Amino acid sequence: MQIQILTVGKLKERYLVDGIAEYVKRLGPYAKVQMIEVPDEKAPENMSAAEEQQVRVKEGERLLAKLGADVYVVALAIDGEMWSSEQLAASLDKLATYGRSQVAFVIGGSLGLSSELLRRADMRLSFGRMTLPHQLMRLVLVEQIYRAMRINRGEPYHK
């Protein structure tokens, strides 16, 4: 399986960089994982709704440019479906079984994802109704993908 994790902005926090690198390394036997960062749009603190929309559109265009036509796209969105780790594992297993072995998980910037990117997504996935920093979400996501791969192989870890 080939997994892309597309994100907005450069990750700078060392503890997050190290944690993500550890899980990407652990995923090596299971999948090829590629982390792709696109630049974030400069966003002043007090923006109008129209300005926020423009930021999402620009960041969305950058993300969409990185997605291949045959890639199954999972948008991380607060209004998405909430799954257990086992459900994520079953979904990834089903995709691989039916020839959809290229999967891209997309994490938006601090203002979320553009409507264009959400329309391109094959599904929306939520990790809960609480807002998490998009930088931290990268680590949570890659850990859950690793957990899913272990579940699918019947290997210990997921309890």
CA 51 to chain centre: 24
**127 marked as binding residue:** yes
CA–CA distance, 31 with 79 (Å, rounded to integer): 28
Our separate counts of H helices and E strands in the chain read: 5, 5
CA–CA distance, 19 with 33 (Å, rounded to integer): 14
Which residues does 29 contact at the CB level (< 8 Å), separation at least 6?
none
The predicted structure's pLDDT at residue 129: 87
pTM equals: 0.94
**128 marked as binding residue:** yes
pLDDT in tens, 95-154: 998 888 899 999 999 899 999 999 999 999 999 988 888 889 999 999 999 999 999 999
**80 marked as binding residue:** no
CA–CA distance, 157 with 147 (Å, rounded to integer): 7
Percent of the chain with pLDDT over 90: 84
**105 marked as binding residue:** no
**76 marked as binding residue:** yes
Phi, psi of 30 (to 5 degrees): -105, -35
**108 marked as binding residue:** yes
**141 marked as binding residue:** no
**154 marked as binding residue:** no
